[in-house]
Amino acid sequence: MTDLATERLGDPHGAPVVVVHGTMDRAAGFRRSARRCSGLDVVLYDRRGYSDSRERGLSPDLAAQVADLREVVDWMGRSPVTLVGHSFGGLICAHFAIETPSMVRSLGLWEPPMPWLAWYRSAVGERARELGEQHDGAAAAEAFLRTMVGDRIWDRMPETMRAERRSEGAALLADLEMCRRPEARFDPAALAVPTIVGWGTESPERFGRSTSLLLEELSDAWGIEVAGASHGVHLSHPQEFAALMQAAAARGEPGPPEPAGSEA
């Protein structure tokens, strides 16, 4: 049982997959990718503070996010599952897999943030925190999304949608704070499940460096590079993100095929 907003797509008899979205995102952003998957039973959900889970309130810490994910996996009723995490969702998936490996078949991680690295800096995150301190979460959310989707797309949104996205500012600031706490850090060596790590050629440089480091530290991981994609790969390249989901699910099956190479 869960009171988080969930939706299920695909083949109910296919390989079970749960997708965890990142900061200022929502389940709906991954529908196009989920619908392009073949033979997968995909669950999407809105994390606390976002979209149809806004009334659930905010998570006090990362442990609560991990507990929410377990709630969703239990609701799906098909453990072990493949977890696919985008951005901050990747941190949640990694911690879940370390804490409860028996419930995880495999992992797919797209550019998880690693702010504990000395050189890791996110200008958009720092600006959002500044606006949150100087004004409020609504101002932080608008600035964050304008950077992510561009002024033209933001300005074309209906005012009701802009107001809804501004209302997610508190969740944005909570995510940014959770990422910076010591408990956000995870040890890649502790990940004992097959893992796919994805990144885009047009993503900010910090993601390229951090995903390369993650691949070096993971003993049994494959990498998928998506040419022309940036951090929001599921929005710009839904088919390629679907391929990552399929590859992550395949890694959880006995005797998966050898990787064919990077996605183009």
Q: What is the DSSP string of the chain?
A: ---S-EEEEE-TTSEEEEEE--TT--GGGGHHHHHT-SSEEEEEEPPTTSGGGGGG---SSHHHHHHHHHHHHHHHT--SEEEEEETHHHHHHHHHHHH-GGGEEEEEEES---TTSTT---HHHHHHHHHHHHS-HHHHHHHHHHHHH-HHHHHHS-HHHHHHHHTTHHHHHHHHHHHHSGGG---GGG--S-EEEEEETTS-HHHHHHHHHHHHH-TTEEEEEETT--TTHHHH-HHHHHHHHHHHHHHTSSSPPPP-----
pTM: 0.94
> Over its length of 264 residues, how does the chain's per-residue pLDDT go in tens digits?
799 999 999 999 999 999 999 999 999 999 999 999 999 999 999 999 999 999 999 999 999 999 999 999 999 999 999 999 999 999 999 999 999 999 999 999 999 999 999 999 999 999 999 999 999 999 999 999 999 889 999 999 999 999 999 999 999 999 999 999 999 999 999 999 999 999 999 999 999 999 999 999 997 899 999 999 999 999 999 999 999 999 999 998 875 444 444 443
**What pLDDT, on a 0 to 100 scale, did the predictor assign at position 256?**
46
pLDDT of residue 1: 79
The pLDDT of residue 253: 85
Would you state the pLDDT for residue 89? 98
Query: Residues of CATH 3.40.50.1820 domain(s) within the chain?
Result: 6-120+185-251
pLDDT value at position 6?
98
Tell me the CATH number for domain 6-120+185-251. Answer: 3.40.50.1820
